[in-house]
Amino acid sequence: MTREEQLLAAMVDAVDTLVDDFDLIDFLHQLCDRCNELLDVSAVGVMLADPNGTLQLIAASDEHTRLLELFALQIDQGPCVECHRTGAARLNIDLNTPAQMAGFPRFAEGARSAGFATTHALPMRLRQQVVGALNLFDTRHQNLNVSDARVAQALADVATIAILQHRTIVHGNVERAQLRAALSSRIVIEQAKGMLAERWHTDLDEAFDALRRHARRHQHPLTTLCQQLIDGTLDTSAIQRH
């Protein structure tokens, strides 16, 4: 697809939140994929705030990024954490430049250890309501240009509208209910990833990709598929490796 077609597809993904069986986890992982494709970055992470305003990791493009984002939450430090607090984007942060790492030296060290050289954080915000943050990572010393920065913020904005829209449609007070469900789903997905990776003797990223492909191919919600694996109602042999 051309870049314009990919942007249009991202908008269509957001419209899909109007359906009853909308899968928040899969939608946010799709957002990670869109960012990778459109912005030519190495990795993406998505954090959403829980009902108490505390950030929680909901999606990441790969296992290394997931662990780095969890580390950021553990130490309460990093561009994504700062972005959520202030509602302002932090772009083109060189992880090897001390002046740009002020406020999050431990996170910067962890990011460098994971192989990243540059990072960007964009707020997931509608007017004054900040629901989370989108974090972009690059293994190269490569800045986002003005056009790419606008695309990145547009993707974050579309995702924010989609999340808030779905919360309003499905529940009267779905901001709490949906995020609790998303966090529970995250646990189920992590368990299924680990189970499949162990049985295949492979890494968690390959296992997760296989789960997503199977869910999409058979039009099953990702969380439902993972729960079936955990319950034993679906055998791992039914999942095809890439």
Q: At what angle do helices 105-113 and 63-75 cross, to 10 degrees?
A: 160
Grade residue 93 by pLDDT with cuts at 50, 70 and 90: very high
What's the whole-number mean pLDDT along residues 221-240? Answer: 91
pLDDT at 66: 94
Question: What pLDDT shows up at residue 206?
Answer: 94
Structure letter (DSSP) for residue 40: -
Per-residue confidence band for 73, with pLDDT thresholds at 50, 70 and 90: very high
Domains, the chain, with CATH or none: 3-170 (3.30.450.40), 185-238 (1.10.10)
Q: What is the rounded radius of gyration, in angstroms, for the C-alpha atoms of the chain?
A: 17
Residue 1's pLDDT is what?
Answer: 62
Q: Mean pLDDT, the chain, as a whole number?
A: 87
121 pairs with which residues across the strands?
90, 135
The sheet with strand 129-138 has its strands ordered as: 55-60, 43-49, 129-138, 118-126, 90-94
Between 27 and 69, whose confidence is greater?
Answer: 69
* Interval 195-219: pLDDT, tens: 999 999 999 999 999 999 999 999 8
242 vs 134, higher pLDDT: 134
Give the integer Cα–Cα distance in Å for 66 and 135: 11
Contact 95, 118 (CB under 8 A): yes
Mean pLDDT of the region 5-30 = 71
Entry pTM? 0.75
